[in-house]
């Protein structure tokens, strides 16, 4: 089979960082003449980029491998990513898997492919995680609207529940020059929005030139990206509260491109539990960051990560978290139910929380998230914002996000895709999404005015 007729398909589990790295690996294949197809298509090679942050991501892997085998029983199946680094033998034992590559090897995937024959026993190439000390830049273009730009990898924090340092190694950064080059490449493809990704992006600058010294800070990065021509929006994504400095908040509030949207991991509203987690802040600092953001950007959207059911979390600890979040001026929650991860200190801690109680607490916080998002949306009604429309037709509607992450909907029209418009938020539909009035209705919509009423 000639290489140009070979087809490769990709499946990504986990975070935006994984998506950016999958895109980089896929571009390597395309550069070597492979044809990229969807994962639902018949392919010669299936590449699965794995995640091991949650228990469910581990379980999903076998299902995805089975799907690939059903599509083409003779296809070559490669597993890469965090789970592949942490538990390569476990993945290699899954029926149908031919190759498992760890943290550093995944970026050389095409080098490990020979005749693409199925292996009787999966080959494993996974380095010691201490060897994952070099940086590979990447970015993902998932649709025409936004791109995920990787600026940093690895983490030097030692949170007791987390496997990421074991899976990705030490904190290290892309060079500022390369980040700007990648941003310019994205801009040239008519992508309207860039989302900055990494494991711990607030630590940007560490390891930029292979040493632990900070050549640049996260604020330096933000200031430099704000001047990249052609990008309408820059979104910071998730950043540790202790690394989000007041100077960065103030700069974002008056920047050209950065939007008023922050995602700050909290994990617990109990200082006692935060200490057990080895987080690097107390809840008082977290509250100060939220207050500072709202001081400079009253309409800012603030998302929160929180873990429920950490070992030793009593009803009192949980209610402390619940009430803390209820009183904070935040916009939504990402709720994670704690699951024991091998080789983490938390997995050995005493007083594990019953799984039924973990589930109940998750449900309570997800209910609080719905309430918080509704209150945030209601507070935005009547205000003029800019919406950037997505690319999908979902049941006859096109969706988009305002700069401060309010999700809006309007009847589908293909010419709205990847365009930005000023609107006035008017009311919330039964599905919880916001409808709006046009400030300057596009000419191509005027014939459809009746449909928009």
Residue ranges of the domains in the chain?
3-127, 133-259, 384-452
Higher pLDDT, 129 or 82: 82
Cα angle, residue 338 at apex, residues 336 and 343 outer, rounded to 5°: 125
Given a cut of 80, is residue 319 above it in pLDDT?
yes
130: pLDDT strictly greater than 90: no
Distance of alpha carbon 186 from alpha carbon 270, whole angstroms: 41
Q: How confident is the model at residue 119 (pLDDT cuts 50, 70, 90)?
A: confident
Please compute, for residue 12, the number of CA atoms within 13 A of its CA located in the half-sphere on the CB side.
Answer: 16
What confidence score (pLDDT) does residue 71 get?
Answer: 94
Rounded CA separation 59/272 (Å): 32
Is there a contact between 179 and 208 (Cβ–Cβ < 8 Å)?
no
Fold of 133-259: Transcription Regulator spoIIAA (3.30.750)
The predicted structure's pLDDT at residue 200? 96
Of the CA atoms within 13 Å of residue 115, those in its CB half-sphere come to 3
Does position 451 have pLDDT exceeding 70, yes or no? Answer: no
* pLDDT above 70 coverage of the chain, percent: 93
Give the model's pLDDT for residue 126: 73
Mean pLDDT for all residues in the chain? 90
pLDDT digits (tens, 9 = 90+) for 138-155: 787 766 688 999 999 999
Question: Using CA atoms, how far apart are residues 83 and 12, in angstroms rounded to an integer?
Answer: 12
**Closest of 328, 332, 329 to residue 320, by C-alpha:** 328
Instruction: Tell me what pLDDT residue 2 has.
Output: 47
Handedness of CA 360, 364, 370, 376 (dihedral sign): negative
**pLDDT (0 to 100) of residue 305:** 97
Dist. CA 45–CA 35, nearest whole Å = 10
* CA quadruple 116, 131, 141, 198: dihedral, nearest 10: 150
> Around 42, how many Cα atoms within 13 Å sit in the side-chain half-sphere?
6
N- to C-terminal Cα distance for the chain?
56
Answer whether residue 381 shows pLDDT above 70: yes
Q: 3-127 maps to which CATH number?
A: 3.40.50.2300
What pLDDT was estimated at residue 449?
A: 47
Please list the alpha-helical segments (H only) found in 297-354.
315-327
Give the pLDDT of residue 204: 96
Pairing of strands 123-125, 99-101: parallel
Q: What is the pLDDT of residue 1?
A: 45
Of 443 and 315, the structure prediction assigns the larger pLDDT to 315
Average pLDDT over residues 326-353: 96
CATH of 384-452, one of 1.10.3470, 1.10.8, 2.40.50, 2.50.20: 2.40.50
Give the confidence band of 116 by pLDDT, cuts at 50, 70, 90: low
Is the confidence at residue 452, as pLDDT, over 50? no
The pLDDT value recorded for residue 445 is: 85
Residues paired with 194 in a beta bridge:
147, 234
Average pLDDT (309-332) is 98
Q: State the average pLDDT over residues 317-324.
A: 98
Residues 212-217, mean pLDDT to the nearest whole number:
83
Distance, in Å, from the CA atom of 381 to the CA atom of 110, rounded to the nearest integer, reads: 51
pLDDT category at 320 given cuts 50, 70, 90 is very high
Which band of pLDDT confidence, cut at 50, 70 and 90, is reported for residue 75? very high
CA–CA distance, 116 with 121 (Å, rounded to integer)? 13
Q: Which pLDDT band holds residue 57 (cuts at 50, 70, 90)?
A: low
- For residue 14, the model assigns a pLDDT of 80
C-alpha of 82 from chain center: 14
Residue 453 has pLDDT above 60, yes or no: no
Q: Specify the pLDDT at position 374.
A: 97
Q: What is the mean pLDDT of residues 235-246?
A: 95
Task: For residue 288, give the H/E element and its range.
Answer: helix 283-296
Q: Is 104 helix (H, G, I), strand (E, B) or coil?
A: coil
Q: How many Cα atoms within 13 Å fall on the side-chain side of residue 355?
A: 3
């Amino acid at each position: 089979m000639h290489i140009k007729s070979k087809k490769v398909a990709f499946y990504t589990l986990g975070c935006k960082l994984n998506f950016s790295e999958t895109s980089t690996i896929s571009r390597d294949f395309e550069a070597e003449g492979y044809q990229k197809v969807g994962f639902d298509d018949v392919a010669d090679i299936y590449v699965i980029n794995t995640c091991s942050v949650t228990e469910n991501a581990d379980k999903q892997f076998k299902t995805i491998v089975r799907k690939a085998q059903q599509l083409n029983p003779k296809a070559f199946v490669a597993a890469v990513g965090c789970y592949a680094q942490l538990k390569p033998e476990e993945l290699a034992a899954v029926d149908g898997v031919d190759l498992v590559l760890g943290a550093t090897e995944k970026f050389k995937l095409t080098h490990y492919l020979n005749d693409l024959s199925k292996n009787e026993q999966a080959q494993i190439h996974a380095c010691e995680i201490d060897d994952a000390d070099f940086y590979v830049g990447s970015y993902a273009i998932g649709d025409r609207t936004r791109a995920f730009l990787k600026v940093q990898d690895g983490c030097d924090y030692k949170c007791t529940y987390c496997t990421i340092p074991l899976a990705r190694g030490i904190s290290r950064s892309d060079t500022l020059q390369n980040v700007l080059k990648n941003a310019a490449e994205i801009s040239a493809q008519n992508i309207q929005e860039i989302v900055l990704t990494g494991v711990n992006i607030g630590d940007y600058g560490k390891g930029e030139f292979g040493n632990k010294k900070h050549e640049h800070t996260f604020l330096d990065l933000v200031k430099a990206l704000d001047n990249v021509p052609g990008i309408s929006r820059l979104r910071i994504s998730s950043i540790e509260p202790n690394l989000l400095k007041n100077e960065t908040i103030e700069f974002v509030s008056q920047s050209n491109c950065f939007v008023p949207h922050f995602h700050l991991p909290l994990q617990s509203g109990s200082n006692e539990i935060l200490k057990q987690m080895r987080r690097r802040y107390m809840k008082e600092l977290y509250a100060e960051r939220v207050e500072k953001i709202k001081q400079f950007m009253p309409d800012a959207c603030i998302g929160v990560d929180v873990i429920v059911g950490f070992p030793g979390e009593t009803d009192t600890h949980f209610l402390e978290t619940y009430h803390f979040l209820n009183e904070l001026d935040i916009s939504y929650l990402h709720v994670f139910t704690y699951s024991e991860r091998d080789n983490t200190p938390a997995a050995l801690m005493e007083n594990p929380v019953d799984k039924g109680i973990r589930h109940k607490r998750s449900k309570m916080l997800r209910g609080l998230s719905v309430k918080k998002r509704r209150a945030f949306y209601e507070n935005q009604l009547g205000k003029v914002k800019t919406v950037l429309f997505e690319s999908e037709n979902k049941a006859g509607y096109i969706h988009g996000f305002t700069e401060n992450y309010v999700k809006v909907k309007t009847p589908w029209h293909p010419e709205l895709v990847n365009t930005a418009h000023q609107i006035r938020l008017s009311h919330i539909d039964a599905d919880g999404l916001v409808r709006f009035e046009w400030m300057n209705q596009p000419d191509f919509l005027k014939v459809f005015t009746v449909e928009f009423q």
